[in-house]
Amino acid sequence: MKYYRDILQIALPAMAENFLNFLMGTVDSYLVAHLGLIAISGVAIANNIISIFQAIFIALGTAASAILANSYSRKSQEKLAVQVVEVLKLSILLGLFLGIISIFAGKDLLLFLGAEESVALAGGVYLAWVGGGILFLALSLSLGAILRSLGKSRLPMYVSLLSNVLNLLFSSIAVFLFQAGIVGVALGTLFSRLIACLILWQQLPLKLRRPSWKVDMELLALALPAAGERLMMRAGDVVVVTLIVSMGTAVVAGNAIGETLTQFNYMPGMGIATALVILVAQARGRGDSEQVRILVKSAYWLSLVWMALISGLVFLFGTFLAGLYTQDSQALAAASLVMFYAFCGTPATAGTLMNTALWQGVGNARLPFYATTLGMWLVRVGLASLLTMALGWGLSGVWLATILDNMFRWVFLSRAFAWREKKG
């Protein structure tokens, strides 16, 4: 019972923060849906690009959590201050680089993915504004990870709540009062993230030092494979989207609506995975391998129960929820299909999330990278291509391949850790 309590103490605020982050995307999608299928399709494809950027910063935050939690458990304040500066430095550099790509190559990226000219134009506008300001999201995610690792697990949640309220307020005013369309939705997101970033920065409990030109190799050794794992995941998703694009604008819109709603399924798992990384890193700092095993088992069952409950509710009320976005029958059918497969794949998704967090917590992000690379490109992309293009299974083929990919990675990572423990 103690381990469940320890996990939930960190996981619940992280779950709430994930919920609020996903809610921001849901609000944006809902507001854009009023502008038509072209707009929602363009923004959906643009969000696949943004999700790649976001995944990189989530990975950086995960690496930061593992390193900082280890130092925090050893009460090494001097080392903590240096590591925090290194995390923020890397976040700023990556945020600026990816922002420039979004501004100058946004529309071309969407055309490359197979979007129609009108869809690419709509999505390119959104990508230029939201992706161009990705620095604010980068810093918010990194600052949140830093504060959680230093024992302030609730603060990022409160800031995310404020950010969502501001996003809803700014975006609604821009769309309904000033008729600003996609640009208005994007600006609402941009300004709300900027404010969140400034608040979190002010709450850092450590006195920051002047950054150096040196690179923290310990951080990079964990961050690069973690970022690579997320990048492979999102890059594979983008390739899969090109398969969905060939099915027509209505299916793309329906898939986007289904993915928007099923994002809530993963919030408990992601929150518990965040807690697991921190707690495993702390246990590793104390040299307590038995606690690591108990933590992983407890985390899996917690995530499975929570994720099954939420995915079941989303599937049960899916038709009604999807109807809030569109009345197109083909789009609604596609959204319902996505929610069905997301519910069926819950056990494998929970297993993949927890075992990935386990390996990152013990300081080995390379193995999840290898597992994701193999699973994504051989199982998900390869099998989805076969099922959709050769066998004509359509969207069902895409999502069946997704479930099988998660099952492969779950088994791969759990067996590898069992072998590692047996080897000693």
Mean pLDDT of 244-256: 83
Most confident of the ranges 105-109, 325-329, 411-415: 411-415
Two tokens, residue 354: 């927890």
Q: What is the pLDDT of residues 225-249, one digit of tens each?
A: 877 787 777 778 778 888 888 888 7
Q: What is the pLDDT of residues 163-212, one digit of tens each?
A: 988 988 998 898 888 888 888 988 998 999 999 999 999 888 777 777 77
Tell me whether residue 66 is exposed, middle or buried, using C-beta atoms within 10 angstroms of its C-beta: 0 to 12, 13 to 18, 19 or more.
Answer: buried
Q: What is the pLDDT of residues 116-140, one digit of tens each?
A: 888 888 889 999 999 999 999 999 9
Give the global pTM: 0.73
pLDDT of residue 1: 66
Distance CA 411, CA 80 (A): 35
pLDDT of residue 216: 67
As for how many domains the chain has, the answer is 1
DSSP state of 209: P
Rg (CA), the chain: 21
What is each CA distance from 44 to 26, 119, 137, 260, 416, in whole angstroms? Answer: 11, 10, 18, 9, 36
Distance CA 290, CA 163 (A): 40
Question: Can you say whether residue 181 is alpha, beta or left, with left for phi > 0 and alpha for psi between -120 and 50 degrees?
Answer: left
Distance CA 354, CA 280 (A): 11
The answer to whether the beta carbons of residues 233 and 372 sit under 8 Å apart is yes
The answer to whether the beta carbons of residues 363 and 222 sit under 8 Å apart is yes
Quote the domain boundaries for residue 381. 2-423
The answer to whether the beta carbons of residues 67 and 224 sit under 8 Å apart is no
